[in-house]
Structure 1
């Protein structure tokens, strides 16, 4: 990538790298294996494709089955899984204040991706979401608007959750990212005892999509049916990580493919999925493919 384009990507990125943690000071390998074996209930299946799962270490109820994010005023309580991961929880408590911390979760992603989405649409006030990769590979990527970037192991990122964003990984090794949700989006989150960042922020260059590539993608979906719509969406979302395009363009391509089916129900479902992901959701609303 040219330096000018890399600098432009960094300057436009709303998400921020806040710090780097001395992650090698913690013995995490055995605990990450526990997460690998932990079962996931599928609460976010409408938004995820391939192998994506969510694992709760602490929340307001103490129940590890209580996965779906929501703001709360309860005291942060360890789940059974969290009690099995003392080194990961020590990483959290040694570097962050618990005063505003509401959720501690780990997101696992392997050979899969998330639909572009906007978080906190359901609530009047957004919170602050941090992500810290505990295990990752070069193939594990995040996106925001039309920028794709990589979070390195131990980097603390404040995710700009109200911009359309996504995550993808083609690796067969599960990327495990610690997700910390704090109340209040305006108040900064302090990070204690971090170490200097030695690597520049990594922006991923992607070529522009050609008209032929977009036509082939859209044409591939024109035979979609209600039964195949969900599986078909993955290919549309994947192109955003491979070609320079805004995350929301995923829905533009998908809706055009839906229109070409001539099926009003397929079109309505495609439009509803855009609304659910990036425009409007209600508290507790689930999308039914």
Structure 2
């Protein structure tokens, strides 16, 4: 069973937002969270505690929510936020962009004592844009409001083409429900992707490339280990086990240690704004 939950469906007209979403496509947000990303992923900040465009690293705060310059240029997107969601606990408004990319399996909020509540709402998506959690892969449809279970390992993948753009809202307090206004009745079941079970042959084909790994290619090679989970039914964290075994087969203890450390960084322990050194 998914720990993440679909909470509501909003009446989003993607055509009405085309010009604003095109502006997001052209916006350069910097490289925050690059350690987790393979391909093109970025987080665009529309509102935070300071109103500064340079304030891009998520953190809980007690300040009043302030629009950034980008947020002021996206009135249509921000009207969705103010029309449908309460603002008193809202701390961050961002748009996540993913194009021909994949996220390493990860746990959010490891850096902080208490997690908040994270909601995502796709503003532009396709059937090839997928999320995952545990051993399940699922698709977030346009306008669906999802509460992402951020403290359970999860991932996302999107094919090439127009970038998947997802509105991300972070609220204080993980326990208090977020009241959503003006939603529509859900007419379709949650879209789970039916995948064949992973086989030993699948795994051996993947990790058999281990001798080809080098210290220079270790980072880029992780992408294919993360991708198998979206093609075969397997736990999302198995990517780290397969990666470690491939590193072991090289006989290079430095790479073995890096593979272990990357797992720790992604799903076990890391500090605020801690970078991962490949």
TM above 0.5, yes or no, is: yes
1:14-93 equivalent positions in 2, closer than 5 A: 14-24=3-13, 27-93=16-82
Task: Specify the alignment match of 2:228 in structure 1.
Answer: 239
Output the CA distance in 2 between the equivalents of 1:61 and 1:220: 47
Q: 1:275 to 1:192 in 2, by over 3 A?
A: same
1:3: which partner in 2? none
User: How many pairs are equivalent?
Assistant: 278
Partner in structure 1 of residue 164 of structure 2: 175
Q: Does 1:205 align with 2:194?
A: yes
Give the drift of 1:222: 2.8
The answer to whether 1:262 aligns with 2:251 is yes
Residue 28 of structure 1 aligns to a residue whose secondary structure is helix
Q: Is 1:143–2:139 an aligned residue pair?
A: no
Pairwise CA RMSD of aligned residues?
1.1
Alignment of 1:101-140 (within 5 A): 101-140=90-129
Do 1:53 and 1:107's aligned partners in 2 also have CA atoms closer than 8 Å? Answer: yes
Partner residue, 1:6: none
Taking structure 1 as the reference length, the TM-score comes to: 0.94
Unaligned runs of 5+ in 2: none
1:213 CA drift (Å): 1.6
Structure 1: runs of 5+ lacking an equivalent: 1-11
Q: CA deviation at 1:26?
A: 8.0
After superposition, give the CA deviation of every residue in 1:83-142 in whole Å (9 maximum; x if it has no partner): 000010000000001100000000001111100000011111010000000000000000
**1:222 aligns to what SS in structure 2?**
helix
Q: CA deviation at 1:14?
A: 0.5
The more displaced of 278-287 and 32-41 is 278-287
Query: Match for residue 276 of structure 1?
Result: 265
Give a deviation string over 1:12-54, Cα, whole Å, max 9, x none.
1000000000112982111000000001211111100111111
SS in 1 for 2:28: coil
The aligned residue for residue 174 of structure 2 is 185
Q: Residues 172-216 of structure 1, C-alpha deviation per residue, up to 9 Å, x if partnerless?
A: 120000000000000000100101111110000111122122111
- Are the structure 2 counterparts of residues 33 and 25 from structure 1 closer, same or farther at C-alpha, using a change threshold of 3 Å? closer
How far apart are the structure 2 equivalents of 1:22 and 1:92?
Answer: 12
Q: Deviations over 1:59-95 (max 9, x none)?
A: 0111122111111111110000000000100000000
Q: Which whole-Å CA distance do the structure 2 matches of 1:69 and 1:25 have between them?
A: 27
Tell whether the 8 Å contact from 1:121 to 1:282 is kept in structure 2 after alignment: yes
Q: What TM-score results when the alignment is normalised by the length of structure 2?
A: 0.98
Instruction: Please state whether the residue corresponding to 2:115 is helix, strand or coil.
Output: coil
Q: Which one of 183, 188, 207 corresponds to residue 218 of structure 1?
A: 207
How many Å separate the matches in 1 of 2:98 and 2:273? 24
Alpha-carbon distance in 2 for matches of 1:56, 1:239 = 31
Whether contact under 8 Å (2:109, 2:151) holds in the other structure is yes
Higher alpha-carbon deviation: 213-222 or 273-282: 213-222
Whether 1:95 aligns to 2:81 is: no
